[in-house]
A and B are shown apart, each in its own frame.
Chain A
Amino acid sequence: MRILAVDDDEMILELLSASLGANGFSDLTTASSAREAATILTNSPEPFDCFLLDIQMPEIDGIELARAIRRSPSYQQSPIIMITAMSQKSYIDRAFAAGATDYVTKPFDPVELGTRIRLAARLVDQNNAIRDNASMVDGLRAQLERERFLDLNEAIGIKEVDGVIELQSLENYLLQLTRSGLFATSIFAFKIEGVENIYAASSPTDFRYLLTDVAEAISTALRSVERFVSYAGNGVFVCVAHGRTLLDLDTVVATANLIVDEMGLTNSRGMPIKCTLRVGSPVRVGLVRAGRGAVDALYVAIDNAEHDPTPAEPNAWGSSSSQFRMA
């Protein structure tokens, strides 16, 4: 695995080299600034597989560099691990929004870092397998289009929608938040009603487009708060929102549905797609422990969206419980 590490501290680069070398990752290139990294990326005959970026560097910081790397088509799937002494939430938020996939705070344990890199290597292997198969997939595209190669339960990544990141990245993000960072955080999920019917009537391509449009609608409806949205499979979008302002989920879901209506969704044959969202009961993360507990809360929210009765049904959770202060 070819790794590019960028840090303005030479000793940190040496530590990275020691940790990665001991873990069998010896193909490491280092740069002491974002500019030097950009030059290396431009001139490298072979692409890199993984990036380790310090956040606080003079001139151009690691977050800007992550954003620039993500803009390159070659690196849209590559793991980007941010390494920084700063553990404040605003840095973490900006890093993930810029395309980071994982986050390690300095001082780091060289042994633990090796574990994180092995996880990244697994992701690279998966991406390579997908890329290796891409040419074959291209040849069989017409045939595959008629078949169901997209599983309804698959938590596919949705690209190029503001605030939307992959589910695995969202988990990593939550794992890194401290208890105080979690205090003003809420998690809730939206479900596309009757998604099984929509899925059955759609080609995989149409279904992907639909998910992208719905993600756009949800992210837009939540634009007044800091948020991350991920697709969790089975028509469920899970959202992590920060802020102390009153967030009325009934209004949010109504806004998202209005945006979806205005999009006038159709499939590739021009047939209209009827798509309505409902929202599950929110989970107040401030009441759970940090770390794995926050990730568990993510899945509680997903489960709520899957299984909460709709508001029209008896015993449905009422509008009062969907209005909560996020703190």
Chain B
Amino acid sequence: MIDPVQEQTRNRVVTARVAEIRGRFLDVLESRLVELEAARSDLEEDDGIDHGYRRQLIEAIRFGAHKTTGIAATVGFPELGRLSQVAELAADGHDPARATVPELNRLLHAVDDMLGEMALILIDNDRC
């Protein structure tokens, strides 16, 4: 049998801790946005980038998106969680040696949507 008073107290404690973690998430999001923007920008470059470096960039994007997917919704940003998952799945298995131009564009669009949402969140929370 669940005690409703105990349950309320428990939920209040969890909500307060989640609010603390949300602040830290926004701190991390600022630096993550910068890193992912740089990786996305390099990935779009046509010249002088070998497949090995492209793979590193894609892995960096996949990893950043994965980290964001795992926590964004829990700390109050469900849309960012959704867009990050789309970007993670687009990057997962993307092979620059075989990918066609439309496939690369799909990946870049997914990353753009995620980065756009990150920027909006940071603006809304007075972080930019």
Contact = CB atoms under 8 A, between A and B. Distances in A.
Contact of B71 (A12, A18, A109, A111): A12
Contacts of A56: 66
A15 interface: yes
Interface string A233-260: 0000000000000000000000000000
B38 interface: no
Interface stretch (B12-20, B40-48, B99-107, B114-122): B12-20
Given A22-B10, A85-B88, A114-B10, A14 B70 contact: no
Give the secondary structure class of B's interface: helix
A193 to B, nearest CB: 44
B98 interface: no
Contacts of A111: 10-11, 14
Interface string A195-229: 00000000000000000000000000000000000
Contacts, number: 64
A18 B21 CA distance: 10
Contact of A22 (B17, B67, B85): B17
Given A14-B21, A56-B66, A107 B11 contact: no
B14 A12 contact: no
Interface residues of A, number: 21
A15 B18 contact: yes
Given A22-B11, A111-B10, 5 more contacts: A9-B70, A17-B17, A21-B17, A109-B74, A110-B14
Interface of B: 10-11, 13-14, 17-18, 21, 24-25, 28, 66-67, 69-75, 78, 81, 85, 88
24 contacts: A11-B21, A11-B25, A11-B71, A12-B70, A12-B71, A14-B24, A15-B17, A15-B18, A17-B17, A18-B17, A18-B21, A21-B13, A22-B11, A22-B17, A84-B70, A85-B69, A85-B70, A85-B85, A106-B71, A107-B72, A108-B74, A109-B74, A110-B17, A114-B14
Interface of A: 9, 11-12, 14-15, 17-19, 21-23, 56, 84-85, 106-111, 114
